[in-house]
Structure 1
Amino acid sequence: MNKDLSDIRQRALGLLARREHSARELITKLIMRDYDEATVQSVVATLAKEGLQSDDRFAEGYIHGRIEKGYGPVRIKQELRGHGINDDLIYFHLDMHAPEWEMRAIRAREKRFGKKIPQDFNDKAKQMRFLQQRGFSGEQMRKIFGTSD
């Protein structure tokens, strides 16, 4: 059992050396290697106590990476939930970027469609769908397009 514990720890550290992982992600990857679930959870909890695994660090890095790729807060929030990050942590980190969201949405739209705001309903709808798929809110889109609906 002690050898198994050491093996799980080494495997987890190897995964963490490559990139940050959420606790849920790490547990899932280790269980897929046919390790005992209770032992895996114990090892991951120990790594978290030692500061080697941190959902906070994972969320911060993940949000930064997704923002740089042009994604909005709605999509990032959903993706982080899928990684097992709790809502308090998600909102804490997303709120730190709140002043930037409108500007990020403008940049994403301009990168794809250019600076000119379309007057045609169909073109405007197409651009709004793009921003929605990227994870920007209706409020952010209304500010960009100057619509009140």
Structure 2
Amino acid sequence: MTKSDASASKRPALSLKGRALKYLAAREHSRLELTRKLAPHAESPEQVEQVLNELEGKGWLSAQRFAESLLHRKSARYGAARIQSELAQHQLPADVAREAVQALRDTEFDRAHALWVRRYGEPPATPEDRARQMRFLASRGFSGEVVRRVVRGDGLSLSEDD
């Protein structure tokens, strides 16, 4: 046993609350994520619920902050449909998810266009290129109308001089 192994074995195990705070210090988590991560370390599901209720009560665990964090991390790369699906997987309250998705829909064209410029930068030369570009944007969760407008070149010019 090395010196670091000996010191690690002497270190007390983290409490559930300590584990939860460690996860939250790294990034925002949804209640569902923390439940899944803490469950193997808890004696009962009620113990996990008690810790999560305490963290919510103190404002350390917030569905609103989690949604904002997810939008911040993913909105430049993904459309509203894809992010809405991810928010639904985290079982956030309906009003929080609806508000977040509405904010995304307002900027969907601009975000899709910026992603398209980074990836392709020029209009498609062939029908195959057009289909490829459209599939790319659609797979990222952008709406069909936004995808068509971006690939057609509607609304924004490619030059940054304008």
TM-score bracket relative to the smaller structure: 0.7 to 0.9
Give the Å deviation of 1:142: 2.1
Secondary structure of 2:15's match? Answer: helix
Q: What value does the CA root-mean-square deviation take over the aligned residues?
A: 1.9
Query: Does 2:59 align with 1:41?
Result: no
Give the Cα separation in 1 of the matches to 2:35 and 2:60: 14
Secondary structure of 1:97's match? Answer: helix
Residue 44 of structure 1 aligns with an amino acid whose one-letter code is L
Equivalent in 102, 108, 122 of residue 101 of structure 1: 108
Matches within 5 A, 1:65-144: 65-68=73-76, 70-114=77-121, 116-144=122-150
Give the Å deviation of 1:91: 1.8
- What is the TM-score normalised by the length of structure 1? 0.84
1:59 corresponds to = 67
Residues 25 and 84 in structure 1, CA contact (< 8 A), matched pair in contact too: no
Instruction: State the identity %.
Output: 36
Query: How many residues are paired up?
Result: 140
Query: Does 2:58 align with 1:50?
Result: yes
User: What CA deviation, in whole Å up to 9, does each residue of 1:23-47 have, x standing for no partner?
Assistant: 0100110002244111101210121
Unpaired runs of at least 5, structure 1: 1-5
Give the Cα separation in 2 of the matches to 1:73 and 1:32: 33
Residues 131 and 141 in structure 1, CA contact (< 8 A), matched pair in contact too: yes
Show structure 1 runs of 4+ deviating over 4 A.
none
Give the Cα separation in 2 of the matches to 1:39 and 1:139: 48
1:23 corresponds to = 31
Residues 82 and 141 in structure 2, CA contact (< 8 A), matched pair in contact too: yes
Residue 58 of structure 1 aligns with an amino acid whose one-letter code is F
Relative CO higher for 1 or 2, CA cutoff 8 Å, sep ≥ 6?
1
Give the Å deviation of 1:136: 0.6
Secondary structure of 1:95's match? Answer: helix
Equivalent in 15, 26, 37 of residue 7 of structure 1: 15
Give the Cα separation in 1 of the matches to 2:92 and 2:74: 15
